Amino acid sequence: MTVSDRDPAAELLTEPADDGRAGLMWRRNVIIAAVVLACLGAMVGTAFGLANMPEGDDSAGPAPTPTASLGVSAEPSATVSETSPAPEETGGCTSNCGGNQTNYKTVPHVIDKDETSARTAVTNAGLSPKVVYVCNGHSVGKVVAQDPGGGVTLPAGRTVEISVGGVKVPDVAGDYVDYAKQQIADAGLKASVSSKPGGGEPGTVLSQSPSAGSCVKGGSTVTVTVPGATQAPPSAAAAGGSGG
């Protein structure tokens, strides 16, 4: 057998025993070292991958959500303010509002005005005045209160109550007619006398209208009734004589 025909693997196997054990131990150590290095490399690679993983993925996703919800909640409020005006904003609305929109009118301020001016102001505002008279020491003929107050908006045609200082009717029943007429005039009222056939002391007041204590407009008329003479019916003879 020539030198070229030798098998290197066979020569390794046929080496002396001591050299064979040393070679096997060396190859085993090399293999173990390679395995350890491979494991360390895998561990280092895993750790590196975890360390370089993008952070904040969990917080980045939901972050836009609050912004979107705020945007949605802001839109309805703007819509309400544009499409639902308060009645006060339509206080000047006239018959030309169009559609079925309610026609609102603004109540004028009429306190301290005289009754005539107050009535006119409320009527011109498109509302209906209702006057009541109060007798508690206020200036006669002046508006002392109103309901609703000035500046309030109401549908057209609604009633505005106006309280006007009035005069209290004196009690003149049983008084002589001349004295009764004087009391009525002193109260700022006018007296009217009517007669009623029947009993009663002549010249004395049997009844009055309006009744005593009523609160009326200044200058109103109070009618007093006094007894009058009973007119006897004409006799038959007188009637016949007048006929002939």
Cα→Cα distances 65→71, 77, 129, Å: 10, 20, 58
In angstroms and rounded to an integer, the radius of gyration of the C-alpha atoms of the chain is 58
Same domain, 109 and 150: yes
pLDDT of residue 60: 44
For residue 64, what are its two tokens? Answer: 């836009």
Q: What is the pLDDT of residues 34-67, one digit of tens each?
A: 888 887 877 877 766 665 655 544 444 444 444 4
pTM of the model: 0.52
> pLDDT tier at 31 (50, 70, 90 boundaries)?
confident
Give the percent of the chain with pLDDT over 90: 46
Res. 1: pLDDT tops 90: no
Query: What tokens appear for 138 in the block?
Result: 């206020």
> 193 with 207, same domain?
yes
- CATH number of 135's domain: 3.30.10.20
Lowest mean pLDDT among 84-88, 96-100, 145-149, 225-229: 84-88
Q: Across residues 141-170, what is the average pLDDT? A: 96
Range with the lowest mean pLDDT among 19-23, 183-187, 226-230? Answer: 19-23
Do 147 and 125 belong together in one domain?
yes
DSSP secondary structure string for all residues of 135-190: -SSPPBTBEEEEESPTT-EEETT-EEEEEEE-EEPP--TTSBHHHHHHHHHHTT-E
Answer whether residue 92 is part of any domain.
Answer: no
The pLDDT of 120-131, averaged and rounded, is 97
Structure-token pair, residue 77: 């409020």
Q: Burial letters for 100-138: b for 16+ Cβ neighbours within 10 Å, e otherwise?
A: eeeebbbbbebeebebeebbebbeebbbebebebeeeeb
Question: Residue 191 corresponds to which tokens in the numbers above?
Answer: 């007296």
Contact 160, 128 (CB under 8 A): yes
Instruction: Give the type of residue at 86.
Output: A
Residue 5 in any domain: the answer is: no
Question: Looking at the structure, do residues 160 and 186 belong to the same domain, yes or no?
Answer: no
pLDDT tens digits for range 163-187: 999 999 999 999 999 999 999 999 9
In this prediction, residue 6 carries a pLDDT of 52
Q: Which two tokens stand for residue 22?
A: 């040393």
pLDDT exceeds cutoff 90 at 21? no
- Total number of domains constituting the chain: 2
- Same domain as 177, residue 156: no
Three-state DSSP at 195 gives strand
Taking residue 163's Cβ as centre, other Cβ atoms within 10 Å add up to: 20
The domain in which residue 142 lies consists of: 102-165
pLDDT of residue 28: 79
Model confidence pLDDT, tens digit, residues 59-112: 444 444 444 443 434 344 333 333 333 443 334 554 445 555 679 999 999 999
Unique residue bearing structure tokens 């490399």: 41
- Asked whether residue 178 falls in the same domain as residue 217, the answer is yes
Task: Provide the pLDDT for residue 16.
Answer: 45
